[in-house]
């Protein structure tokens, strides 16, 4: 992991560091933020540096070339990193986020080493503290699972199901375009998404059943 950064008492990562952890690049991190900015809350998911604050931040890191021409800079909190992982496809993002929680955003700070008397063993982490950390990781993994959208293969399955249903309902080719528009509109309304591609992975089976039973309603 790159150099530890603490801002306002909170551990944070730059876009470059976060991209490195997710095996992507900072342009994709910044693009996803721009496209989904309404989901990010400043002070909770990220801190934005500019002006004198950014100047001071750069001065502390003169060797960091990625900061040289930045006119503003976002620093991502644990919640921000989780939100970014939900916009990235594939298993890698989930695994990387779990690793970040374990090794970087951990709630457990390394305690100072006590002065040990001869023959005395150091205290290990308490069971309660370990269980708290384990519970937190599990909760965040569950939250991430609820946000992951369909990957390309799952999108293809849903499109194929839509095609089969439309062809079953309309033998007349001329009626099919209207049905295609209607069924995709029904999917977007049911799952409150802008595109069928944004249906969540955990909703795929429900979506397939919905399509199979769709009655061909048009408005």
Query: Are both 186 and 143 inside the same structural domain?
Result: no
Query: Are both 34 and 135 inside the same structural domain?
Result: yes
Give the angle 23-27-31 at the CA atoms, nearest 5°.
110
Structural domain harbouring 78: 5-108+130-147
Query: Are both 136 and 173 inside the same structural domain?
Result: no
- Looking at 100, 121, 147, the residue that finishes a domain is 147
Structure tokens at 92: 């890698």
Confidence (pLDDT) at 64: 81
Confidence (pLDDT) at 182: 94
Count of structural domains, the chain = 2
- Global pTM? 0.48
Residues 183, 197: Cα–Cα separation, whole Å:
14
203 part of a folded domain: yes
Confidence (pLDDT) at 208: 95
Query: Are both 197 and 141 inside the same structural domain?
Result: no
Confidence (pLDDT) at 121: 47
Residues 77, 154: Cα–Cα separation, whole Å:
31
Parallel, antiparallel or unpaired: strands 46-50 and 10-14: unpaired
Query: Are both 134 and 194 inside the same structural domain?
Result: no
Confidence (pLDDT) at 128: 64
Confidence (pLDDT) at 146: 67
Which DSSP string corresponds to 191-204? HT-SSGGGSBGGGH
From the list 189, 188, 206, 190, the residue with the least C-alpha distance to 198 is 188
pLDDT mean values, one per 10 residues, the chain (219 residues): 75 88 88 91 92 89 82 90 80 74 60 46 53 67 70 91 92 88 94 90 92 86
Confidence (pLDDT) at 140: 65
Residues 42, 63: Cα–Cα separation, whole Å:
27
């Amino acid at each position: 992991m790159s150099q530890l950064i603490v801002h306002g008492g909170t551990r944070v990562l730059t876009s470059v560091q976060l991209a490195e952890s997710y095996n992507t690049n900072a342009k994709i991190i910044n693009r996803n933020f721009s496209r989904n900015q309404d989901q990010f809350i400043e002070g909770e998911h990220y801190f934005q540096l500019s002006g004198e604050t950014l100047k001071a931040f750069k001065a502390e890191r003169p060797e960091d070339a990625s900061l040289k021409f930045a006119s503003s800079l976002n620093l991502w909190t644990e919640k921000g990193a989780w939100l970014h992982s939900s916009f990235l496809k594939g298993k890698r993002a989930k695994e990387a986020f779990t690793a970040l929680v374990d090794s970087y955003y951990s709630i457990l700070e390394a305690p100072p080493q006590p002065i040990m008397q001869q023959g005395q063993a150091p205290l290990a982490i308490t069971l309660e503290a370990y269980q708290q950390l384990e519970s937190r990781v599990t909760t965040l993994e569950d939250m991430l699972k609820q946000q992951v959208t369909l990957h390309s293969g799952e999108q293809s399955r849903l499109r194929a199901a839509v095609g089969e249903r439309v062809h079953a309902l309309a033998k007349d080719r001329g009626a099919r375009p209207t049905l295609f528009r209607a069924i995709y509109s029904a999917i977007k309304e049911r799952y409150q998404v802008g595109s069928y591609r944004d249906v969540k992975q955990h909703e795929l089976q429900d979506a397939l059943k919905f399509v199979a039973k769709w009655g061909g309603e048009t408005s």
